[in-house]
């Protein structure tokens, strides 16, 4: 399993396209456990301008993030986009 800093670097790289369209305010990574006790990664992407992206944009970014994380870590990445406060 990769450390969270390395995973965050991969997430940042995978969200480069999103940065230009919605602006990324912050990326938060947390290790959590599902009901079966298995580890997974909670990935929260805070965006500045969510109204500038389509559902297809978010789906593409989600796939890019999941692929980038799964290449270096076996834990499932649960990705969520949230409006920045």
State the CATH number of the domain containing residue 65.
Answer: 3.30.300.30
The string of DSSP letters for the chain reads: ---HHHHHHHHHHHTHHHHHHH-EEEEEEEEEE-TTS-EEEEEEEEES-GGGS-HHHHHHHHHHHHHHHHTT-SSEEEEEEEE--
Domain range spanning residue 46? 4-83
Q: What is the per-residue pLDDT across 16-40, written as a single tens digit (0 to 9) for each?
A: 878 888 889 999 999 999 999 999 9
The count of domains in the chain is 1
In this prediction, what percent of the chain has a pLDDT beyond 70? 99
The confidence band for 42, taking pLDDT boundaries of 50, 70 and 90, is very high
């Amino acid at each position: 399993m990769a450390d969270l800093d390395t995973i965050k670097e991969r997430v940042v790289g995978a969200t480069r396209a999103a940065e230009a369209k919605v602006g990324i305010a912050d990326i938060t990574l947390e290790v959590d456990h599902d009901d079966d006790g298995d580890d997974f990664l909670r990935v929260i992407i805070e965006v500045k301008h969510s109204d500038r992206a389509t559902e297809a944009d978010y789906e593409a970014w989600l796939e890019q993030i999941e692929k980038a994380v799964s290449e270096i870590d076996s834990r499932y990445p649960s990705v969520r986009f949230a409006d920045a406060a």
